[in-house]
Structure formats: C-alpha cells, structure tokens
Structure 1
Amino acid sequence: MSTNALPAHGPFDPETHRVERVLCFTAHPDDIDFGAAGTIAAWTAAGVKVSYCIMTDGDAGGFDPDQREEIVRLRTAEQERAAALVGVTDIHYLHQRDGFLEPSHEVMREVVRLIRQLRPDVVLSMHPERDWNRIQKSHPDHLAVGEAVTRAVYPALENPFAYPELAAAGLQAYKLPWLWLFAGPETRENHFVDVTEHVDRKLAAIHIHTSQHPDVEAMDRTVRALMLGTARRAGMPAGSSAEAFHIVSVNGPGTISGF
C-alpha cells in the first residue's frame, strides 16, 4: 500500500516493517479524515487494528449559532460514523477545550497512558511544525497535538519513572517503534502512501462532517486536488492519489537507550 519517494533515505519499508496496531491522535473530529483516512482505510483493509484519540470535543466548530448546545454531541456522532466508514470503531476522547489545547503534562500523561494501554506499532499524529505555505493546516490545536505527542513518546513513554502513577496502575514503560506525522511542512515529508483505491472511502468519511463542511462540492475538489498533487510530488503515475507523512523511527535497530 505504500511507496517511498526517496527509497534510499526513507526510514520505513512497508515490505519489512510489519504494522499490526496503530493509534492516531488528532485535535478535532474530522482532522484524521482529511489527513489520513485513505491510509487508515488501506490499513484496516489489510487487517490492521486502528484506534483514534480525539483531544478536543470540537466545541468551537460549526457555523450555525443554533447548534451551540448540541455541537459536541453532533461532532462526536459525525466522527463515529466517519470512522466506521474506514474500518475504525475504537475512539477515545480527552475532552480538552477546542481552541485552548496545550502540550501540558495533563495532556502528555493521558497520551502516555493510552499508548501504554494499546502498545501500538505506529503512533500517528498531527505535526508539531507550522506549514507557512498553507497555514490552515497549522491550527494552534494541531500544533499542540503534535508537540504533546512528540514529547510523550520520548522520553516519558519509555521512562519507567515518568508519571509513576501509570506504572503503579500496571501501565509499564513502552518503547514505540514508529511515529508518523501528518499536516506538516512539505519539506518534512519522507513517506507517501498510494491511496488511489481508497479515495472514495476517504471522501465519504469527510462528507459525514456536514456541520463543518457545508460546501461538499468545493471540499471534494480541494481534497482531490491535494491528493493528486501529493502523488505528483511522490513521483507516482499520473492520476494517482496519495497522502504524505513525516516518519520518525523512535526505536529501531540502531537506537541506544538514552541517546
């Protein structure tokens, strides 16, 4: 399902690096569908178990003043329906306030807690670096997710003395193999996934979020064009669609503890 634009330099080889479990962290309901739903659909189709963690309830989203009292319920329902379309049923929420997310120790501890519970091969997260070419990718909550997750996976996740209350509860330290980041600067991209066969499922998932994207035709055009452009950057055949990631090897054959 995957291809590297620069195979000699890409850190992840889908032929040799087995993925059985993935945990995705995003800021708001709908973030994961725009950023990685095609890749997730490919994973679940291959039997990979994928879980989501949405850090805020999306309570500041939407456009209709009459929806204020029900927006959290509405967006939660949208995310559950969208997730099911790409094969995901396990969704966790941190219930942080939309627009106020920070990489605090409260948030980092919950990230560590969930990763230690699920012990995934891949943690997928929004990128902590701002993209100045398309700043809409870099909502402050998105950057906060990336920073909190990146800080959490090293060193707290694998340090048995970090957040000792977690170890006391039976959640032992865990060394994460891979961190996949999306929605970052193009200059950071080092891995591309061909999602041509999953474009319709990705768009169907995005369509569920009607409270956020009332102009479906414009959204379709934009998302299709972005995926086509990503595939061109990856050197894929004309007409292909792709999603891009910045992959970091957190613990691999060359990792030395403490370095």
Structure 2
Amino acid sequence: MGMILTGEGEIEAPARALIVVAHPDDIDFGMAGTVAALTSAGCHVAYCLATSGEAGDDDMSHTSAELAAMRQAEQTAAAKRVGVSELHWLGHPDGMVVADLGLRRDIARVIRMSRPDVVLCQTTIPDWDRIYISHPDHLATATATLAAVYPDSRNPRTFPGLLDEGHKPHTVDELWLIGTEPNRYIDITDSFDAKVAALREHRSQTADMENLDGRLREWCTDTARAGGLAEGRLAEAFRVVPAV
C-alpha cells in the first residue's frame, strides 16, 4: 500500500476505507482531497450516504424525487473525480435523519459489506461557531456511525438479521472524524484540484457559489497552517479515534 502525507510526515494508507455522511456533497466539501490522496495511494474507498439530498434545494420546480435523482447523479460523478465507484444509498429522509436502530443497522450492514479498515465520518458534536457543520442530519448520521462501528458491525448478536443476509461481523480499526478537535492533518496539495473538480459536479449546490476555488484554497490553507504544514501547503483535518 502507498503512503499519504500528513503534518507528522508520511503514513501508510489503509487498504480499505468507508466514508459515511448525511448528504451528497458533504464528502466533497469536507474530505474529497483526502479521498483522492487515499485512492492515489491504492486504498479502496467506498461511500455511504444516509440520504439522497432531496431537501437540499429551495427551487420548488423540482419534485423531491427529481432532486434526489439529480443529487445522486452529481455525487456519483463527483466520486469518479476522486477515484471512487462504490456508493451505497440508504434512503433515509433528508432533513429528518434520526440516529435510531434502523440507521445503525443500515450503516452496520454497509460496514460488513465493504469491510473497511478505517471509517471516515462527520462529528457528533455541534459547532456553535459554524451552524452549517451542525446540521441535525450530520450529527445524527455521525452518532449512528459511531454506534455502527462499535459495537454493531463487530458484534454477531447485534442485528442478527444481518447474519441471515450473509453479512459477517467486521471490526473497524480506526475512525477519522471531521469537524472536531483534529489530531491529524492530511496534506492535499497534490489532490486539491481533484477536490475542486468533485465539488463542481454538485451543480445544484455550487453553481451559484462565487470563487469556489479561492474559498476552498483559503480554508485548506488555514487548515494546513493550523497543522504545522509548510507555507503554501493545503490540508484537511481529522480527529483519529482508535476503534480496537
């Protein structure tokens, strides 16, 4: 397996990773540069999305079903930009995601199917300075993901119906969370253009955003500085949590 560059130097990329988020475009705003770095290093990355983003546009000329199809297509195209072709859509209602047993089971199923070494997700902790990060769907999906990683996906007695479906227990080694108290900074300087290209595929969300490249560059520059990377580098930040 290849290496990825961090603020602490090079580390070996995991062989398999799963990213679990609430909405289409959550991955690309938060961690698409890291995804591109991982896939370039030979890591197999899969996506799991709790919703299809059918509530993510104020334009009422589209039905919810039409918007869901549009946003799924956008996310699929964005995933290809960073080397990802495996996407799992859970179909929970956009704007009304609840961290209940049904969502935990659905995420645990995908973990058992994809069998990742690392799961990347959003934070469970509200950010009182940035309300958009604290969307209730983000917090609920992250809370369910943590429960799906431990104990649900590894415990054969949890959701026994998954065993009946043929999905054997699987233990995830690490969680990487965005949006809270980072302790790892991934250098995405070489994959920044792929991140921008992925976000531009989300036309329903970014078409009216002015200077998208500049805004992203500013954010990633600030993150790199916070992580102690050299001047001119770009980064995304994660809280790495051991799961074994």
Q: TM-score range by the shorter chain?
A: over 0.9
Equivalent-residue separation in structure 1 for 2:220 and 2:239 (angstroms): 16
Q: Residue 108 in 1 paired to residue 104 in 2?
A: yes
Q: Residue 240 in 1 paired to residue 236 in 2?
A: no
Match of 1:148 among 138, 144, 151: 144
Determine helix, strand or coil for the equivalent of 1:138: coil
Equivalent-residue separation in structure 1 for 2:240 and 2:117 (angstroms): 13
Counterpart of 2:42?
47
Paired residues of 2:175 and 2:243 also in contact (CA < 8 A): yes
C-alpha offsets along residues 119-152 of structure 1, whole Å, 9 cap, x if unaligned?
1111111111111221211111111111000011
Match of 1:29 among 16, 20, 24: 24
Counterpart of 2:170?
174
Equivalent-residue separation in structure 2 for 1:230 and 1:19 (angstroms): 22
Paired residues of 1:63 and 1:212 also in contact (CA < 8 A): no
Counterpart of 1:257?
none
TM superposition score normalised by structure 1: 0.88
Paired residues of 1:78 and 1:209 also in contact (CA < 8 A): yes
C-alpha offsets along residues 174-224 of structure 1, whole Å, 9 cap, x if unaligned?
221011111x23xx1010100001111101110111111233434333221
Counterpart of 2:67?
71
Cα deviation for residue 44 of structure 1 reads 0.8
C-alpha offsets along residues 94-142 of structure 1, whole Å, 9 cap, x if unaligned?
0111000011100100111111111111111111111122121111111
What is the letter of the counterpart of residue 84 of structure 1? K
Counterpart of 2:187?
194
Counterpart of 1:122?
118
Paired residues of 2:78 and 2:197 also in contact (CA < 8 A): yes
Cα deviation for residue 4 of structure 1 reads 4.0
Q: Residue 62 in 1 paired to residue 57 in 2?
A: yes
Paired residues of 1:207 and 1:216 also in contact (CA < 8 A): no
TM superposition score normalised by structure 2: 0.94
